C-alpha cells in the first residue's frame, strides 16, 4: 500500500501500517520531507521499543517502509492508497486526479481528510465508487479510532474493505455512511467548543467557569476553552467559516488578535506570562449551564442517527475513542433524559430564536414515542428494565460460558479503564444479578493493552459530597463476597482504585511489565474501597505504609515478592498461565471452593479460635456432599473428578 504525505499524519499512518506487518511506500513531493518523515518514524519506533510496546525490532518494522518522491512509481502496485496531504480541496482533487491515472484499476483510493467532502474529492476521478474516507486521528500511533466515510458513490465493497483493513491495524473503525460536514466526531465536538463560547460572549459565564464545570462536574477530559487552546482557536474558527456557520464573538476576537492558543503563547489562557489553563474544581462553576452544552451535542447526535449517518453505537465509540469523552453522548443523553434535553432545546430556541437550538426531528420522534432514555427502558438504546438478571452495560463487557466462566472486561480503554461511579455500579449490578449457580469462576481484565485499571476517574467523582464519598462503593464488597473464585488478569497499570478492585479478587496474575501503586496520597487522599486495610493485612505494616505513604509504583516482580500478586509472568506466557489458573477453578469442586473462600475471608478478621471454629463447620458441611464422594472415587480410580456442586 501507499501513503501520500510524510507530515505528522502521513508518517504516523505509515508507521501504524508497518507495525501491523504491511509493506508501505511513504511518498511526498520533496525528498527532504520524506527524509524528515522517515526519521520521525524511526524516533517513534525507538520510543515504543523502550516501552516494550513493539512485538519485533525497530529494524524489522523499518524494513517494511520504502520512500518515494515520484507519485507514479509510488502507487504503481498499490492495492490501497491513503492520501494525507494538507486540508485543501484543490490540492486533494489534483492528487486524486493523478491517482486515477496512475493507480491500479482495482486499488482503493482513500483520503485522510478530517473535514472535506469525500464526494467532491472523488469527483476528480473516473471511479468514485472506489474512493472512501479513512480519517485517522492524531497521533495515529496512539489514537485507536478511524472514521470510514462513504462518499455519495462509494460502494459497500470499498467501504467494507477499508473497515476490515483498519481492524487489521488493531484500530477501531466506525462507519460514517453519509458524507456530512464534520463526519461524526467533529459534528458532536462542534457544540462542545462553540456553545460555551457563545455563553461567554453573551456574558453568561467566564472561561474558567465553563472549563471547571465541564471537567469537574461532568467528567470531560479537558474543558472546551483549554481544548481550543490546545488544537488552535483558528482551526475551529476556519471550520465554522468554511461551513458558513456563525462564529462566537469571543472566538473571532482571539483570531483577530492572533491569540490562537498554545502555539502563539496565549489564547483563552496565557501560557507565557500566566499559569495557562489554571481552572480547578474549586472555581465557581455552579451556575454554568452544562445541560445547555450537552443538549446541543445530543441534538447533533440525534441528527446523525436520524439521518442514517451513523448508529448510536458508532457515535458513542467515536466520541469516546476520538475525543476521550467519559462515555458516549447518546448514552449520556439517555441518562439525562431525552425529554429533558428536548425541553431545554425548545426553551432556548423560544428565548433566543437562534438557529442552533431547534430540536432535530429524530429527537422529537424519540420523545413523542415515549423513548425518553434509560428510565423509560428505551431511548437511543434499549435497556433491560425487567430487573431479571444482568442488564445492558455501556462501560463493561461480559460473557458467561457454558462451563461457567464469567469473563468481565472493563471497557474504557480511552481512559485506561478508570473506575467511574457508573462503571463500579455496573460491576455491582452484574455480580448481584447474575445467576451465581451458573458461575464457576470470574475473571476481570481491562480493555486495550495499557491498563487493567489506572485508578479512579477523579472527574467522575467530582460532584460527590464529602459524606457521599465516605460511603465505600458496594462494588468492591460485592466482588470480594461473590461466592465463586475471582481472578484479576492484570496487564499494564493497576493503580489506585484499579488496585483496590484487584485486591477484592481472590487471585491476581500479572504480566512482568505491569505496575502497581496507591497514588491517592499525591492527590491529598487515601486509598478507598478497603485499600488501606487490605494492603495492611496482605503486606504487613512496613510495606503497606511504604506503598500508601510514598504513593510510588512498584513493578510486578516486586509485587510478587511482596505477596501482592500470585504470579508475575512474561507477556508471552500470560494467557497460558491464566488458563491454567482458570482451568483449576472451573473444574474444582464448587461447594468446597465457596466454603473455602467464605471461611478464609471471614476468618482473616476473626480471632484464631473463631476462625478454627468456622473451618471446622465448613469441613463438616462438605463431608456429606456428592462432590466429596466423587472426588474420593476419582482418586481411587485414578481419573479426573467431575464435580457438580452437589
- Which domain CATH number covers 518? 3.90.226.10
pLDDT confidence tier of residue 525, bands split at 50, 70 and 90: confident
Nine cell digits for residue 419: 473506575
Taking the C-alpha atoms of residue 304 and residue 327, their distance in angstroms, rounded to an integer, is 17
pLDDT category at 273 given cuts 50, 70, 90 is: confident
Among residues of the chain, what percentage have pLDDT more than 90?
69
Give mean pLDDT, residues 600-608.
75
Catalytic residue, from 409, 520, 560, 594: name it.
520
Instruction: Compute the average pLDDT of residues 271-297.
Output: 87
Inform me whether the pLDDT recorded for 400 exceeds 60.
Answer: yes
Active site residue 294: no
- Name the most confidently modeled range: 95-109, 234-248, 629-643: 95-109
Give the total number of structural domains in the chain: 4
What does the pLDDT read at residue 366?
97
Contact 333, 298 (CB under 8 A): yes
Mean pLDDT of the chain: 90
- Among 179, 214, 242, where does a domain finish? 179
* Region of residue 269 (phi > 0: left; psi between -120 and 50: alpha; otherwise: beta): beta
Going by pLDDT thresholds of 50, 70 and 90, the confidence category of residue 33 is very high
pLDDT digits (tens, 9 = 90+) for 410-428: 998 888 899 988 889 899 9
pLDDT (tens digit per residue) in 307-341? 999 999 999 999 999 998 988 999 999 999 999 99
Residues 333, 214, single domain; the answer is yes
340 and 457 both lie in a single domain: no
On whether residue 32 sits in a domain, the answer given is: yes
The domain boundary, picked from 544, 559, 582, lies at 582
Mean pLDDT, range 112-131, rounded to an integer? 96
Q: Exactly one of 195, 409, 426, 500 is catalytic; which is it?
A: 500
Specify the pLDDT at position 611: 66
Residues 367 and 408 in one domain: no
Cα(20)–Cα(170) distance, rounded to whole angstroms? 8
Q: Is the pLDDT of residue 253 over 60?
A: yes
Predicted local confidence at residue 471, as pLDDT: 46
Q: Is residue 384 part of a domain?
A: no
Helices 233-243 and 249-256: crossing angle in degrees, nearest 10, is 120
Do 206 and 352 belong to one domain?
yes
pLDDT band (50, 70, 90) for residue 592: confident
Q: State phi, psi for 407 to the nearest 5 degrees.
A: -100, 125
- Kindly report the CATH number assigned to the domain that includes residue 609: 1.10.12.10
The domain spanning residue 141 has which CATH number?
3.40.50.720
**Residue 642, domain member (yes or no):** no
Residue 510, pLDDT score? 96
What confidence tier does 618 reach under pLDDT thresholds 50, 70, 90? low
Residue 609 clears pLDDT 90, i.e. is over it: no
Residue 406: strand, helix, or coil: strand
pLDDT at 599: 78
Domain contains 390? no
Amino acid 342: pLDDT: 98
Over the Cα atoms of the chain, what is R_g? 28
Q: Same structural domain for residues 7 and 139?
A: yes
- Res 551 pLDDT > 90: no
Which residues, 6+ apart, have CB-to-CB distance to 612 below 8 Å? none
- Report the pLDDT averaged over residues 162-176: 96
Please give the Cα distance from 510 to 595 (Å, whole number).
Answer: 26
| 137 & 38 share domain | yes
In a domain? residue 643: no
The mean pLDDT value for 548-552 works out to 89
pLDDT in tens, 477-506: 899 999 999 999 999 999 999 999 999 999
The pLDDT of residue 630 is: 67
Identify whether 391 is part of a domain. Answer: no
Residue where a domain terminates, one of 323, 348, 377: 377
Active-site residue, 98 included:
no
For residues 357 and 438, state if they share a domain: no
Are both 480 and 522 inside the same structural domain? yes
The yes-or-no verdict on residue 392 having pLDDT over 80 is no
In a domain, 389, yes or no: no
C-alpha 325: how far from chain center: 8
Could you please report the per-residue DSSP string of 491-502? -SEEETHHHHHH
Percentage of the chain exceeding pLDDT 70: 94
Q: Are residues 99 and 229 in the same domain?
A: no
pLDDT digits (tens, 9 = 90+) for 427-453: 998 998 999 999 999 999 999 888 999
pLDDT at 216 over 80: yes
* Residue 373 to residue 331: CA distance in whole angstroms: 8
CATH number at residue 362: 1.10.1040.50
Reported confidence tier of residue 229, pLDDT bands at 50, 70, 90: very high
Q: What is the pLDDT of residue 19?
A: 97
Mean pLDDT of 352-363: 96
Residue 175 is part of which domain span?
A: 2-179
Instruction: Name the band, by pLDDT with cuts 50, 70 and 90, for residue 384.
Output: low
40 domain residue, yes or no: yes
Distance in angstroms (rounded) separating the CA atoms of residues 601 and 538: 12
- Find the mean pLDDT for residues 214-227: 92
Among candidates 253, 361, 260, 242, which has minimal Cα distance to 306? 361
Same domain for 456 and 523, yes or no, is yes
Of the listed ranges 251-260, 494-503, 558-567, 609-618, the one predicted with least confidence: 609-618
Residue-wise pLDDT for 191-201, tens only, equals: 999 999 999 99
Residue 270 sits in the same domain as residue 193:
yes
Same domain, 405 and 550: yes
Amino acid at each position: 500500500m501507499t501513503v501520500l504525505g510524510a507530515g505528522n499524519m502521513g508518517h504516523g499512518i505509515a508507521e501504524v501500517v508497518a507495525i501491523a506487518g504491511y509493506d508501505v511506500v511513504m511518498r511526498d513531493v520533496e525528498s527532504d520531507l520524506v527524509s524528515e518523515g522517515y526519521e520521525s518514524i524511526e524516533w517513534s519506533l525507538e520510543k515504543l521499543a523502550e516501552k516494550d510496546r513493539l512485538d519485533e525490532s525497530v529494524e524489522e518494522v523499518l524494513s517494511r517502509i520504502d520512500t518515494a518522491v515520484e507519485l507514479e512509481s509510488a502507487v504503481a502496485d498499490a492495492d490501497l492508497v491513503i492520501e494525507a496531504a494538507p486540508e485543501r480541496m484543490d490540492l486533494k482533487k489534483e492528487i486524486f486526479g493523478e491517482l486515477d491515472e496512475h493507480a491500479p484499476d482495482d486499488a482503493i483510493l482513500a483520503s485522510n481528510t478530517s473535514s472535506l467532502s469525500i464526494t467532491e474529492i472523488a469527483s476528480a476521478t473516473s471511479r468514485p465508487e472506489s474512493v472512501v474516507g479513512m480519517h485517522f486521528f492524531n497521533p495515529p500511533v496512539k489514537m485507536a479510532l478511524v472514521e470510514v466515510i462513504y462518499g455519495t458513490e462509494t460502494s459497500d465493497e470499498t467501504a467494507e474493505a477499508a473497515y476490515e483493513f483498519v481492524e487489521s491495524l488493531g484500530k477501531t473503525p466506525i462507519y460514517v455512511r453519509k458524507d456530512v460536514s464534520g463526519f461524526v466526531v467533529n459534528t458532536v465536538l462542534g457544540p462542545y467548543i462553540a456553545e460555551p463560547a457563545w455563553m461567554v460572549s453573551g456574558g453568561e459565564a467566564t472561561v474558567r467557569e465553563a472549563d471547571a464545570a465541564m471537567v469537574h462536574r461532568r467528567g470531560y477530559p479537558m474543558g472546551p476553552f483549554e481544548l481550543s487552546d490546545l488544537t488552535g482557536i483558528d482551526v475551529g474558527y476556519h471550520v465554522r467559516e468554511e461551513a458558513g456557520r456563525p462564529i462566537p464573538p469571543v472566538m473571532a476576537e482571539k483570531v483577530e488578535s492572533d491569540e490562537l492558543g498554545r502555539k502563539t503563547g496565549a489564547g483563552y489562557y496565557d501560557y507565557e506570562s500566566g499559569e495557562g489553563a489554571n481552572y480547578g474544581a474549586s472555581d465557581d462553576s455552579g451556575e454554568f449551564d452544562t445541560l445547555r452544552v450537552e443538549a446541543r451535542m445530543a441534538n447533533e447526535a440525534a441528527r446523525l442517527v436520524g439521518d442514517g449517518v451513523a448508529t448510536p453505537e458508532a457515535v458513542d465509540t467515536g466520541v469516546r475513542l476520538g475525543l476521550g469523552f467519559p462515555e458516549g453522548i447518546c448514552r449520556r443523553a439517555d441518562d439525562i433524559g431525552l425529554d429533558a434535553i428536548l425541553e431545554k432545546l425548545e426553551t432556548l430556541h423560544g428565548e433566543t430564536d437562534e438557529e442552533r437550538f431547534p430540536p432535530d426531528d429524530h429527537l422529537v420522534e424519540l420523545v413523542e414515542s415515549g423513548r425518553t432514555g434509560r428510565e423509560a427502558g428505551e431511548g437511543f438504546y434499549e435497556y433491560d428494565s425487567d430487573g431479571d438478571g444482568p442488564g445492558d452495560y455501556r462501560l463493561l463487557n461480559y460473557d458467561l460460558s457454558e462451563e461457567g466462566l464469567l469473563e468481565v472486561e472493563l471497557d474504557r480503554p480511552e481512559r485506561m479503564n478508570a473506575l467511574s461511579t457508573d462503571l463500579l455500579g455496573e460491576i455491582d449490578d452484574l455480580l448481584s444479578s447474575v445467576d451465581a449457580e451458573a458461575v464457576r469462576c470470574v475473571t476481570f481484565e481491562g480493555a486495550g493493552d495499557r491498563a487493567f485499571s489506572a485508578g479512579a476517574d477523579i472527574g467522575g467523582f467530582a460532584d460527590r459530597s464529602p459524606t457521599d464519598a465516605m460511603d465505600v462503593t458496594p462494588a468492591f464488597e460485592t466482588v470480594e463476597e461473590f461466592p465463586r473464585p475471582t481472578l484479576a488478569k492484570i496487564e499494564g497499570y493497576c493503580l489506585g482504585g484499579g488496585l483496590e478492585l484487584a485486591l477484592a479478587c481472590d487471585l491476581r496474575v500479572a504480566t512482568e511489565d505491569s505496575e502497581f501503586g496507591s497514588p491517592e496520597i499525591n492527590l491529598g487522599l487515601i486509598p478507598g474501597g478497603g485499600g488501606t486495610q487490605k494492603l495492611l493485612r496482605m503486606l504487613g505494616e512496613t510495606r503497606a505504609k511504604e506503598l500508601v505513604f510514598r504513593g510510588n509504583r512498584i513493578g510486578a516482580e516486586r509485587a510478587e515478592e511482596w505477596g501482592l500478586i500470585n504470579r508475575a509472568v512474561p507477556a508471552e506466557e500470560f494467557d497460558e498461565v491464566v488458563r491454567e489458573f482458570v482451568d483449576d477453578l472451573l473444574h474444582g469442586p464448587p461447594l468446597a471452593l465457596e466454603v473455602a473462600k467464605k471461611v478464609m475471608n471471614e476468618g482473616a478478621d476473626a480471632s484464631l479460635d473463631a476462625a478454627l471454629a468456622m473451618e471446622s463447620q465448613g469441613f463438616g458441611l462438605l463431608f456429606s456432599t456428592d462432590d466429596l464422594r466423587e472426588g474420593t472415587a476419582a482418586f481411587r480410580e485414578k481419573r479426573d473428578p467431575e464435580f457438580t456442586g452437589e
